[in-house]
Structure 1
Amino acid sequence: MQPEPGSRVGDSGGQVAERVRRVIGATGVSQREFARRVAMDASKLSRSLSGVRRFTVAELVRIAATAEVDVGWLLGSPGGTSAKPSAVRRGRPGAAAAPPEGGRPLQIVRETVRLIAERGFHAVRVADIAEACATSTAAVHYHFPGRDELLEAAVRWCMDEDTARRAAGIADAGDAADELRRLIELRTPYTAQRRRQWSVWLDLWAEAARGTAVGRLHNAYHRQWRATVTDVLRRGVGQGVFRPTTDPDADALRLTALIDGLAAQVLAVAPGATAGTSPADMRAALLAYVDVTLTAPGPSRGSAARS
């Protein structure tokens, strides 16, 4: 009898964790990046590798699919092999098609995020996700035993993607004022991808109000985002680019609230519409707020904030 996807895998000797470590090492990416690729919380992966937590069958299936190794080998089955599935299947009639880029689990998660953005959490069915991935509902449930687990994985992936883009976008910022302007740019929904992401965030606010698991995830992530803004403001005061009267905590609260409210207004307007709040309006309003209330006096400061 096959184990259920959500069941835990015994690993008293640590062999499963060691095989997963070998798989991660072979990919050449960081542990956090690998966790993102398999739609797994990085802290859960870390605890599983250290033996504090046991992997579920579903998690090992996703790891095997992403790394293109035999899941039987990961599970310690006698006939398992570390060869890529394509090599194991080579020459067999009816071999499965090559997995999508990044593996089937990542494809499922990406399509889930897209459908959430288009339809909202409660309108997305597993059957819709399976259709978007050109696979079956059974295949989706093989990787993600339940809809709740799939939605959580999708939200975590979306948050990880946002964090990675943010880190890349501010990596070479000149000072805290430049960093804050870049954060504003990254938060302004100019592109279709950013509009989709904001659609997910807005839906998550409703989930947070209902106290759901994904809503609690959103609350934690929003606190992290606001803490980032607070840190930028605090460093800016130290650098002299923001007013010494700036209260980093209070001003971060006001600025993030303004960003959220303006983004909701932008998304309420269809792309290309001539009336309503546009992304350019949002950007101008945010930079004006920063210039008037936060930027330290001086000719170079004001002109930089308006650029």
Structure 2
Amino acid sequence: MQQHEEVAQRVREVIGAARCSQREFARRIVMDPSKLSRSLRGTRRFTVAELARIADAGSVDAGWLLGSGADGHPAAAAEHTTPSATPAVPAAPRGAGPEGGRPLQIVRETVRLIARHGFHAVRVSDIADACGTSTAAIHYHFPGRAELLEAAVRWCMDEDTARRSARIAEADSAADELRQLIELQTPTTPRRREQWTVWLDLWAEAARSTAIGRLHVEYYRQWRTTVADVLARGIAQGVFRDVDPEFSALRLTAMIDGLAAQVLASPTGEGPGAPDGGGTSADDMHTALLAYVDTELSA
């Protein structure tokens, strides 16, 4: 038990040296914030893969996290802080790594390959090739395909939440906030199409996997709450009708999902069967959603 407490304390030192919140650090290591919190409290053990990702994100030696080796080296993250403000965390010897660290590179490439080929067609060796590393390095951070899918989904969730927060912060009114959210959910760019393609795989996997199903529930609870909060603000501002915010958020998010699935299922490009062949375009989706807001929600 004492060893687990010591490991948790070293992880706290890494988080302190990173100068970010616990939740932000969880995002960097692609870990459920509640799992990180429980592990720091001692009610849950860190897995070997989680400690590997923590070591990578904090530029420390994984052996030091476990209480062995790599003594006496100053932390890279602590170089520009005072000794009293930041613990001396031993740095791991490393060369120039990928942006954001190896775990994030693995997750980003996994998302890209899932969007292109589908999760069940992506092999660990494909991900290793895309990252320019070995399959052993992939398994070091993510032991199995299930962990990789969960990490990829969580990364997409975090990215989507961050983009929504940034857009809402720029809006002048609740009506503008809702328009910004609708624009963000419309697959008009390759990046948005990629993310929606991953969501389609998520829906199929959530029907079979309890872990992914829980992620699915968590994401949609957050997403519908965001929309409901915007609608409630709009009602208070007088820009939206006096509707039930939660029920209206359920209807609107369901419309977004259904239309996005139609857009992704429609042919793209030129030639026979391309956009003019009766499919639903991203512009069609955007127009339909704004029309729904105008007719059903706007005051």
Classify the TM-score, shorter chain: 0.7 to 0.9
CA RMSD across the alignment: 2.1
Q: Cα offset for 1:215?
A: 3.3
**Cα distance, 1:223 vs structure 2:** 2.6
Residue range with higher mean Cα deviation, 110-119 or 215-224: 215-224
1:57 & 1:88 partners in 2: Cα distance? 16
How does the TM-score come out when normalised to structure 2? Answer: 0.86
How far is 1:277 from its partner? 2.1
- Tell me by how many angstroms 1:286 deviates: 0.6
2:119 is the counterpart of 1:116: no
**Equivalent of 1:54 in 38, 45, 51:** 45
CA contact (8 A) 1:115 1:129 kept: yes
Of the candidates 277, 280, 283, which is equivalent to residue 277 of structure 1?
280
**Given the superposition, is the C-alpha separation of residues 88 and 178 from structure 1 closer, same or farther in structure 2, using an over 3 Å criterion?**
closer
2:12 corresponds, among 21, 34, 37, to 21
| Correspondence for 1:178 | 176
**Which of 103, 106, 121 does residue 105 from structure 1 map onto?**
103
1:62 alignment partner AA: R
Give the corresponding residue for 1:250: 247
Gaps in structure 2 of 5+ consecutive residues = 77-89
Q: Deviations over 1:178-236 (max 9, x none)?
A: 11111101111111111111001112111223344223311331232112212222222
Match of 1:92 in 2: none
- Give yes or no for the alignment of 1:293 onto 2:296: yes
The equivalent of 1:260 in structure 2 is 257
CA contact (8 A) 2:115 2:194 kept: yes
Displacement of 1:52 in angstroms is 2.1
In the TM superposition, residue 163 of structure 1 has moved relative to its aligned partner by 0.6
Partner of 1:72: 63
Q: Is the 8 A contact 1:73 1:82 kept in 2?
A: no
Distance (whole Å) between structure 1 residues aligned to residue 158 and residue 190 of structure 2? 18
1:88 to 1:122, Cα distance in 2 relative to 1, 3 A: closer
Which residue of 2 is the match for residue 192 of structure 1? 190
Which segments of structure 1 move beyond 6 Å, counting only runs of 4 or more? 85-88
Q: 2:165 aligns with which of 164, 167, 172?
A: 167
Per the TM alignment, residue 15 of structure 1 is displaced from its structure 2 partner at its CA by 2.0
Q: How many residues align?
A: 280
- Map Cα deviations across residues 60-119 of structure 1 (whole Å, 9 max, x no partner): 111111221111111110454554699765xxxxxx642211111111111111111111
Q: Is the 8 A contact 1:70 1:82 kept in 2?
A: no
1:71 partner letter: A
Q: Secondary structure at the match of 1:77?
A: coil
CA 1:82–1:269 in structure 2 vs 1: closer, same or farther (change >3 Å)? farther
